[in-house]
Amino acid sequence: MAVQINPSILSADFARLADEAEAVRGADFLHVDVMDNHFVPNLTLGVPVVESLARATDTPLDCHLMIEDPDRWAPQYVEAGASSVTFHVEAAAAPVRLAREIRAKGARASMALKPATPIEPFEDLLPELDMLLIMTVEPGFGGQAFLDIMLPKIRRTRELINKHGLELWLQVDGGVSASTIERCADAGADVFVAGSAVYGAQDPAEAVRALRAQAEAATAKASWACDH
């Protein structure tokens, strides 16, 4: 699968979301961080904003739900126009049922792991998912430092994906920048969320292109992506 770059609008100007979406034309998805001030200590936006943003841009929306009770709320984000919906496994009561419901409603189903949540207990569940998100910071805020200690988890997850021959995308989110994206790609990530590294740049579209070029070059050299 080709490298994908998903700018996080958490670092954009919330008063100008349509313009900020346009500023990263060429991105694969817009990453939309939904926070409820319970699952994480921060509050961002909800279904009405996602509905408006979906109408305002052609770029598909990748909604990352950092909320409690995603079993109840996630389907509404599909109805609001999200192309991909990510719930946290730590918050989901029935992750398999929820992933199936998201898919049945027509979106890609994705599951996120906080830094302290291991991948191994979820090996049998991976075929139910279209994407797995490995958080590389504690969820809640943009602009945090990348956690290097997540690299072995990314590597082990890529091994599981290859072992089972899955089409699962492997996303990383948190502290992804020009100085960390190559290590993520080398470890096995293929979908990269970047907030401050894109919207903090002079030219956000150029930042997306540069990150993509770095990730593509690192993937081409990575052992996990070789045919042999």
* Ramachandran assignment for 6, one of left (phi > 0), alpha (psi -120 to 50 degrees), beta (any other): beta
Residues lying near ligand DX5 in the complex (CB under 6 A) are found at 8, 10-11, 31, 33, 64, 137, 139-144, 173-176, 193-197
Catalytic position from the list 62, 130, 173, 186: 173
3-state helix, strand, coil in the chain (%, to 5): 45, 20, 35
Q: Is 175 annotated as a binding residue?
A: yes
User: Tokens representing 111?
Assistant: 């599951």
Verify binding: residue 173, Zn ion, rule CB under 5 A: yes
Residues 80-119 that bind Zn ion (CB under 5 A): none
Q: Residue 43 or residue 220: which is nearer to ligand DX5 going by CB?
A: 43
Q: Is 130 annotated as a binding residue?
A: no
Annotation marks residue 190 as catalytic: no
Helix (H) or strand (E) holding 193: strand 191-194
Q: Is 33 annotated as a binding residue?
A: yes
Q: Which are the contacts of 162, defined by CB distance < 8 A and separation ≥ 6?
A: 224
Q: Is 8 annotated as a binding residue?
A: yes
Annotation marks residue 33 as catalytic: yes
Query: For 107, phi and psi rounded to 5 degrees?
Result: -110, 165
- Give the rounded distance of the alpha carbon of 209 from its chain centre: 18
Residues 126-165 that bind Zn ion (CB under 5 A): none
- Give the rounded distance of the alpha carbon of 228 from its chain centre: 28
Interface with Zn ion (CB under 5 A), residue from 28, 33, 62, 130: 33
Binding-site positions for substrate read: 8, 64, 140-143, 173-175, 195-196
Catalytic machinery residues: 33, 173
User: Which parts of this chain interact with Zn ion (CB under 5 A)?
Assistant: 33, 64, 173
